[in-house]
Amino acid sequence: MNKKRGRTSLSQEKNQGENQEELSSSSDISDTEQASAKRSHVCKEPNQNWFKIYPWLKKEVEEDKIILFCSLCRERNGKTVFAVGTKKYRLETCIEHKESEDLSKSQQTRIITNFVKQLGIDKLNIISLMRNVYFYTKNHLPINLFPNLCELVTTQFRNHEEYITSDKMCILKTPYYEKNKMKASYGNYTNNNLGTKFLSSICNVIEENLFKKLDISNYWSLMIDESNTISDDKHLAIVAKYLINNVLYMRYLGMINLEETNALYIFNQIKSFLESKNLNFDSLIHFGSDGASNMTGHRSGVSAKLKSLNSFISSNHCIAHCLHLAGKDASLKVEYFKEYEKILHKIYSYFSRFHKRQKMLHLMQDINDEPNLELQNPVETRWLLLSNVVGNLYKIIDSVLSTLNKDSLAGDKAAENLFSLLNEDFVIVTMFLADLTTILKRLINIFQSDYVSLSHLKPHLKTAINSISEYFIGSTDVQPTYGVILRNYMDRNNINRESLSFFY
């Protein structure tokens, strides 16, 4: 047994010795490989693929020798080999620098720098958009045009240096536009919703500037007007006129919600609004309104209560409204005018209710070579609408008569009854009103100008009076000319003056 054990131990020792020799030899080989791997291979020139793998790796030529450096570390003014530059082209050095702490710090610095730079660019973009919004508010333009203005400004900025001319004609070149982006419109802040938010963010600045100018003005006037919404909510619009350096300005001040419409409530609301803006009532010298009794009452109207604050306040209501009321009172003395208005409503009602009738009217307009105009409904609250109604009707009167005649022959009783009302008297009155309202329309447009003075109104009033006298009144020595439109109709249909006796 002992002999066997001895033999076994000797064989085991022999095997263990052989294994140790193999391990020592393998370890020597691995150490040699690691040593050779650690020994970097220096290239004669840098591999071009290195610049694709490492975007921070750059090169420069100095004394016909290529120097490799790290653009991020050099930008950070680092002190490492790659920040200064190296002439040894070793891939292992690039790998070590990629994992170094210096490159990590340089990358963080670049990220912060780019973020600050981009933040500054975005800030300038926002400021430019705010300028566009401010331009809209100063020029009283609708905010829904905000994207169009932003696009125009961008186009002008990108194409401001290009000017193309030709000896024969001017050539228009298509402006430069950026390629279509999948980015949403709210990302560039140029949509209507963002324009409204920009406006709300700077409205306080605009308002403060407005009331500051109004307060330093020596004198200013106040104009108000009531309005109702579709839900019958009552509001009061407040507008002011003032002088700054002898320049007249008219500005919208605000809108007040009205729970009541009596003079005392309106006066208290106006007073509270003006006091909240720190405006001086001593500088208020004029009050304008729409002429309603609660506004112009001598004892208890809003104008009378304002005079209790400043006895020097003058008051009058809208001159265009006065002309409208004067014309309405004058029309009451003409019996046929009430019937004429009813016929206008019937004409509009007949054609507006059925698309087939409108289509037939348009067909008749093409046949008669008349303009393609629409019939309008006269509304008493709109001053210039009668001018538009008769202005369209006299131009297409032949087509209206032809359509009604055709429908009446087809057995339409409504067309037959309406056609009988559109006799020669109706046509003559239409031509007369077309001439008269043309004169009054020019006068009302002047009354509704932003800046009106008595010296400016007087010659226009005189011209309107002379035109009406020349057209329809005449004198003892001169017969009336019957205007332009009515005169042409009389000449075409051989109508003499005696046929107009019903009219006078």
Residue 244 sits at φ, ψ, to 5 deg, of -130, 115
Q: Label residue 385 by pLDDT band (50, 70, 90).
A: confident
- Compute CA 362 distance to the chain's CA centroid, rounded to the nearest angstrom: 34
Give the range among 157-171, 322-336, 388-402 with minimum mean pLDDT. 157-171
> 99-113 burial, b for 16+ CB within 10 Å, e for fewer?
eeebbeebeeeeeee
Mind listing the pLDDT tens digit for each residue in 192-245? 777 777 777 777 878 888 888 888 888 899 999 888 888 888 899 999 999 888
Query: What average pLDDT does this structure show over 399-422?
Result: 93
Q: Label residue 416 by pLDDT band (50, 70, 90).
A: very high
Enumerate the β-bridge partners of residue 227.
235
Enumerate the β-bridge partners of residue 316.
288
pLDDT (0 to 100) of residue 432: 92
Q: Label residue 35 by pLDDT band (50, 70, 90).
A: very low
Contact 235, 225 (CB under 8 A): no
Long-range contacts of 160-168 (CB under 8 A, 24+ apart): none
pLDDT (0 to 100) of residue 172: 53
Q: Distance between CA 274 and CA 211 in Å, rounded? A: 10
Q: Distance between CA 447 and CA 342 in Å, rounded? A: 29
Largest separation between any pair of C-alpha atoms in the chain: 169
* Top-confidence range, 305-309, 330-334, 497-501: 305-309
pTM for the full model?
A: 0.56
Query: What average pLDDT does this structure show over 12-26?
Result: 48
Mind listing the pLDDT tens digit for each residue in 112-165? 666 666 555 566 777 777 788 888 777 777 777 878 888 777 777 766 555 544
